[in-house]
Amino acid sequence: MYHGKIQSFNAADGLGTIQLDDGRLIRFSLTACGYMRPEVGKAVRVVSLTEGYAGRSKATLVEPEPAKDASG
């Protein structure tokens, strides 16, 4: 599992990019988000990756990062 933030999302195309915490940039499509509404800056976890166009990684399952418990 990988963690990162949505860097871009084009609602008209249903495509976007995620900047992973390790610095890599991966693509995703709206179908990878399931029920989640993609928003730029939203913290996410990438559960599944596959090889996409031109051998670049593509997320196939993206979930929102769970909210951190404020009580510590």
pLDDT single digits (tens) 35-63: 899 999 999 999 999 987 788 889 999 99
CATH T-level assignment (fold) for domain 2-63: OB fold (Dihydrolipoamide Acetyltransferase, E2P) (2.40.50)
**Proportion of the chain above pLDDT 70, given as a percent:** 94
pLDDT number for residue 13: 94
DSSP the chain: -EEEEEEEEETTTTEEEEEETTS-EEEEEGGGGTT----TT-EEEEEEEEE-GGG-EEEEEEEEPPPPPTT-
Segments making up each domain of the chain, as ranges:
2-63
pLDDT confidence of residue 9: 97
pLDDT at 8: 97
